[in-house]
Structure 1
């Protein structure tokens, strides 16, 4: 693994903890964005898990992460109706471009990114990443 890829993984792993960690500066935010993009670029596929205040917010966050990681968004965010004010969990697979939504009863809000690759240095689940990493909410 290249030194820059090792650094990217180490930075992402520093956000992989029980208590969510937030970037404390714009430089930290940009470094986290770059690290995630670098790891995703090396992976064969990813699963995104979004825990949000509601479905609409969750799909907006998912769309921002997909765009930031170089994927087309295979759904129309504006067409998603969210009749429930309840928290939602969304799981999306870049391998199949399929997603599902379920109710979420936990208090955590954020994003988990699980990368799959033949290289064990790339494989891993990263997060809890901020909902607004790529766009302000």
Structure 2
């Protein structure tokens, strides 16, 4: 799919594309074009859902918070994150869980091998967008 067509992306196409990442070890994003398509797909589904939950598997607390900030900005949240200096930094890799309904997060130690972001779209309506996509790239909303 070319970047010219990402603005005409359907829900079905977005879900199909993002499902390539579901339950994958780590799918390498090959190009900026592919990154743009992933962004467009997750934005489409997120905008059609009521809120999102994010699960971030990162090498450090700093990386997790930086990733959270970029995803929240990319997804249109106006949440102010707690200053990292107020957070007890966890040594080593971490799992950060963000609840979009409460606009809060927790950070825990993580020993798994995965690195990336799980985006879970939540809708009150049964026929709404309800699905989990990922592991998406940590830098999805960071421009190179």
TM-score > 0.5, shorter chain as reference: yes
Deviation at 1:17, TM superposition (A): 2.3
TM-score (norm 1): 0.88
Moved more, 115-124 or 58-67: 115-124
Which residue, 132, 139, 143 being the options, matches 1:125? 132
TM-score (norm 2): 0.84
Query: What CA distance in whole angstroms lies between the structure 2 residues aligned with 1:22 and 1:38?
Result: 21
Instruction: Work out whether residues 56 and 80 of structure 1, in 8 Å CA contact, stay in contact via their aligned partners in 2.
Output: no
Query: What CA distance in whole angstroms lies between the structure 2 residues aligned with 1:65 and 1:72?
Result: 11
Q: Deviations over 1:101-133 (max 9, x none)?
A: 100011211100111112446211100101111
Deviation at 1:60, TM superposition (A): 0.5
Query: What CA distance in whole angstroms lies between the structure 1 residues aligned with 2:100 and 2:127?
Result: 19
Instruction: Work out whether residues 116 and 123 of structure 1, in 8 Å CA contact, stay in contact via their aligned partners in 2.
Output: yes
Q: Which runs of no fewer than 5 residues in structure 1 stay unpaired? A: none
Q: Deviations over 1:44-72 (max 9, x none)?
A: 11110001111111010011011001111
Q: Which runs of no fewer than 5 residues in structure 2 stay unpaired? A: 1-7
Query: Where do 4+ consecutive residues of structure 1 move more than 3 Å?
Result: 76-85
Q: Which residue of 2 aligns with 1:66?
A: 72
Q: CA RMSD in A?
A: 2.2
Query: What CA distance in whole angstroms lies between the structure 1 residues aligned with 2:35 and 2:11?
Result: 17
Q: Which residue of 1 aligns with 2:5?
A: none
The alignment partner of 2:44 has SS state of helix
Aligned residues: 136
Query: What CA distance in whole angstroms lies between the structure 1 residues aligned with 2:142 and 2:32?
Result: 13
